[in-house]
Amino acid sequence: MPAHDMRTERTSAEQLGNGTVRAIDGKKCIFYDGYWIRYYDVSQSAFRDKKTLIDQLTKRVFHHTEPGINTPGSRLEEARAAYEQQQEPARKRVNAGMLAGALLNRATDIFTKVVELEEAGIRITPQNELLKECGHYFLEALELGKSVRHYSGEEGLDELWGEPFRAFTLSVEQFYEGRYLKVAQTMSEIDLIRQQIIAIFSPYAGFERLPQLVNAFCDAARAECETLRGDLAIFAVWPEFVATGDELAGFRPASPEKLSAEQRLLRDESVRLIRDGKNLLQWVASARVPMPKSTRDYIALLAAHETEIRQAYPRIRG
């Protein structure tokens, strides 16, 4: 069933505990915080499994954050020196991001070498100096990563910087438990944005098609945030996500022939806000973590806009 029609399923599942696994419409799902999420079986937490996971998570950090911070681990000392020498706050923030990138890459490089040693038959214990150094770099990258912004220029994504460190310190199974919780929180944020857009614009003439477009894109966004790239389902999920997003971004309210200058300006602002909402939904779904500050700011803009359009737009009669 479409995600926005799963409220009945969620209501009936309120008494279920987190971690319940069940087939929902032919899809194996796991229940977390009111949401059924696509479930993935994970293997035992061998070093090779963790290496692959950490490598994927490191790439994901750089994919979703501002450009220019993917500093090779081999340049760690240069990045650190530049950060320590920089005094101007705006520039120091960027240097912090470049140093965080170098630390993250250095930690991943070390862990890769540890895996190679294990495969060569050399046993590495948790007390090994290489592993201790690796953990230290992951933790320092997490702290400095708080200075880094999402590629949109909006808020930072601390959660993404923390994932490689969590994958390093936890078993693969434990890591995925946390992932399901984050996906549930992400779905909740998608639904909150969905509800706000529909509640504000749907009462007005000209916006009759908007709820259908918003629901279609939000359903696709929820499917996107729960689906791993290696899953065959991505070949259906991703085109749906892109196509429904394009349809929502292209929405224009049907307008009567004559509009006042004020109404035209407000209609243009409504279209811009709807497009901004589409972009925010896309960022949240792709990152698979909430963006609470951006969401709060967007909802505040919607509320202010509603006050302006309440008298200017004709409401749908009946």
pLDDT tier at 224, thresholds 50, 70, 90: very high
Q: Does pLDDT of 152 surpass 50?
A: yes
pLDDT of 175 reads: 87
pLDDT tier at 119, thresholds 50, 70, 90: confident
Residue spans of the domains in the chain: they are 3-38, 47-169, 182-312
∠103-109-110 over CA atoms, to 5°? 90
pLDDT of 12 reads: 52
How far does the chain reach from its first CA to its final CA, in angstroms?
30
**Rounded alpha-carbon distances, angstroms, from residue 106 to 12, 203, 313:** 47, 54, 56
Q: Does pLDDT of 83 surpass 60?
A: yes
pLDDT tier at 197, thresholds 50, 70, 90: very high
Among the listed residues 174, 192, 222, 163, the one whose alpha carbon sits nearest the alpha carbon of residue 37: 222
Proportion of the chain above pLDDT 70, given as a percent: 92
pLDDT of 159 reads: 81
Q: Does pLDDT of 41 surpass 70?
A: yes
Spell out where the chain has E strands: 21-24, 27-32, 35-38
Q: How many CA atoms lie within 13 A of 73 on its CB side?
A: 15
pLDDT tier at 9, thresholds 50, 70, 90: very low
| 3-class secondary structure, 72 | coil
φ, ψ for residue 246, nearest 5 deg: -65, -40
Specify the higher pLDDT residue, 151 or 299.
299
pLDDT tier at 1, thresholds 50, 70, 90: very low
**Rounded alpha-carbon distances, angstroms, from residue 172 to 32, 41, 163, 179, 262:** 18, 10, 12, 10, 56
pLDDT of 45 reads: 46
| 3-class secondary structure, 232 | coil
- Of 17-21, 89-93, 106-110, 121-125, the range with the lowest mean pLDDT is 121-125
Among the listed residues 163, 132, 159, 158, the one whose alpha carbon sits nearest the alpha carbon of residue 146: 158
